[in-house]
Amino acid sequence: MSRKKKVIILGGGYGGIKALETLANNENIEVTLIDKNRYHYLQTESYNFIALNSSLNDIIIPLDTLVKGIDKNFCFIQDEVVNVTTHQVTCKEGEHPFDYLIIAVGVKTLLPSIFHNDHLFEVKNLSNALHLKHSFEDTIVKHLKKEKKNTNIVVVGGGSSGVEIAAEMQNYLLKSNLACEIQISLIADAFLGELDEHSRKKALQTLQNSGIRIVQKMVQKVEPNCLYLEDEVIEFDFGVVAIGLEASEFIKNLDFAKEKHLLKVDEYLRAEEHIFAIGDCAFLKDKTGKPLSQTAQTAEQSGVIAAKNILRAIQEKPLIKANIKIYGLAIALGGKFAIATASFVKVDGILGYLGKKAIEQFYKIPLKLKL
């Protein structure tokens, strides 16, 4: 009887989980998931959490329980990886040999030094999302108790994350009758570049109509409670920074080929012969060679492809080429309003909201059922 092949997955994010599910119920492999955190963070739903519309339980899933729910023979190790060689993963607390490896460690928020400020938070990290939620919660309480007259909240970044967080916080303020006391400013030199021009204008008009101040300028300097723009200064009490993503130090230090500081992969998603890279930490392209956005859906698709190729390699079958696509986009704009696009279909308002919620629940409910 031949030895079972050892497969290790580094990272329990969207791509890593999909890879686990694809590898499940195969008796000829041993699968271990390694992550420094004990939870799978549903970062795409953080806007609801920060705006006090959901609980911590709604945005995290325990990895140890989930891994066993996917396949009782799978193993989870909570540890931080520090290096990868041809057939071994080195973590802070041990070494783990493998036959095949999937690197799915994601990325971190791009945070230039000017934004290193005790009053500014990013949300790629759950701890920072918690701090931001507590800041917003504390602000609400102080205004309800009339301990404070005015508060300024800033959101720096015009992508979907910044827009959704600003929109949902504003919706909470409107429902609490506090929008006249708490001003939210959304600051970026460009907004929602992933949308077409018509949808982008409609989204910005919706945000402005809700009371959010749209500031199309770049931040030049930051002081403890002031943002210096090109021609004005905005005072703030706390804020969010969501201006982009960059590779983690672990990825930067790996001795593998890079493209735009991310792991370079071939058409089968291999960084090396037995090592695959998926999700945000890999430089993914569509079949025409065009770079793909770093989204949950590209991470999930790449996770499935890498896992299938590992199974095919073990069975000595030809590998399948990656054909990753962006099927659509849904952006929450506060309350029961969202814009959703898919191919040539575009919906907004309540239909967009229902579409976005359906996407979130379609992903989350099957995982919750495995716990």
pLDDT tens string 295-346: 999 999 999 999 999 999 999 999 999 999 998 889 999 999 999 888 778 8
Question: Which residues touch 73 (CB under 8 Å, ≥6 apart)?
Answer: 30, 31
Contacts of range 77-85, beta carbons closer than 8 Å, 24 or more positions apart: 77/32, 77/33, 77/34, 78/34, 78/35, 78/36, 78/37, 78/38, 79/34, 79/36, 80/36, 81/10, 81/34, 81/36, 81/105, 81/250, 82/250, 83/253, 83/254, 84/10, 84/254, 84/256, 84/275
pLDDT, position 73: 93
Rounded CA-CA distance 337/344 in Å is 20
Both 171 and 225 in one domain: the answer is: yes
Both 131 and 224 in one domain: the answer is: yes
Q: How many CB atoms within 10 Å of residue 315?
A: 9
Both 251 and 237 in one domain: the answer is: no
pLDDT, position 125: 87
Rounded CA-CA distance 230/191 in Å is 17
pLDDT, position 310: 98
Range name among 99-103, 295-299, 359-363 with the lowest pLDDT average: 359-363
pLDDT, position 278: 98
What is the domain extent for residue 236? 110-243
Both 99 and 117 in one domain: the answer is: no
| Within-domain flag for 364 | no
| Within-domain flag for 130 | yes
132: helix, strand or coil: helix
Task: Answer whether 243's CB lies under 8 Å from 219's CB.
Answer: no
pLDDT, position 238: 93
DSSP code for 317: -
pLDDT, position 152: 96
* Assigned token pair, 159: 């992508």
Does the CA dihedral 122-126-128-131 come out positive or negative? positive
Helix 126-144 crosses helix 160-175 at what angle (to 10 degrees)? Answer: 20
Residue 1 in this model has a pLDDT that exceeds 80: no
Both 98 and 116 in one domain: the answer is: no
Amino acid making up residue 64 = D
| Within-domain flag for 199 | yes
CATH of the domain at 138: 3.50.50.60
Helix 63-70 crosses helix 14-23 at what angle (to 10 degrees)? Answer: 30
Of 212, 243, 274, the residue that ends a domain is: 243
Of 63, 59, 61, nearest to 50 by C-alpha is: 59
Both 220 and 118 in one domain: the answer is: yes
Q: Are strands 100-103 and 88-91 parallel, antiparallel or unpaired?
A: unpaired
| Within-domain flag for 362 | no
Rounded CA-CA distance 10/16 in Å is 7
Q: What is the mean pLDDT of residues 173-187?
A: 96
pLDDT digit string, tens, across residues 52-90 = 999 999 999 999 999 999 999 999 999 999 999 989 999
Rounded CA-CA distance 358/333 in Å is 16
Task: Answer whether 359's CB lies under 8 Å from 342's CB.
Answer: no
Of 300, 354, 309, 338, nearest to 15 by C-alpha is: 300
The DSSP string of 177-212 is: T-TTTEEEEEE-SS--TTS-HHHHHHHHHHHHHHTP
* Assigned token pair, 147: 């301990």
Task: Answer whether 214's CB lies under 8 Å from 184's CB.
Answer: no
Percent of the chain with pLDDT over 70: 100
Of 225, 243, 261, the residue that ends a domain is: 243
Q: What is the dihedral of CA 47, 48, 52, 58, to 10 degrees?
A: -120
Rounded CA-CA distance 344/90 in Å is 47
| Within-domain flag for 359 | no
Confidence of residue 146 (pLDDT cuts 50, 70, 90): very high
Both 227 and 177 in one domain: the answer is: yes
Q: Based on the structure, what is the number of domains in the chain? A: 2
Both 203 and 282 in one domain: the answer is: no
| Within-domain flag for 342 | no
Residue 249 in this model has a pLDDT that exceeds 80: yes
Which whole-number Å values give the CA distances from 269 to 24, 223, 263, 297, 305, in the listed order?
A: 20, 43, 10, 16, 8
Both 179 and 220 in one domain: the answer is: yes
| Within-domain flag for 85 | yes
CATH of the domain at 73: 3.50.50.100
- For 18, phi then psi, to 5°, come to -65, -35
Of 203, 219, 243, the residue that ends a domain is: 243
| Within-domain flag for 141 | yes
Both 147 and 238 in one domain: the answer is: yes
Both 237 and 116 in one domain: the answer is: yes
Range name among 2-6, 203-207, 230-234 with the lowest pLDDT average: 2-6
Both 84 and 136 in one domain: the answer is: no
Helix 14-23 crosses helix 296-314 at what angle (to 10 degrees)? Answer: 30
Averaged confidence pLDDT in the chain: 93
Q: What is the mean pLDDT of residues 78-107?
A: 96
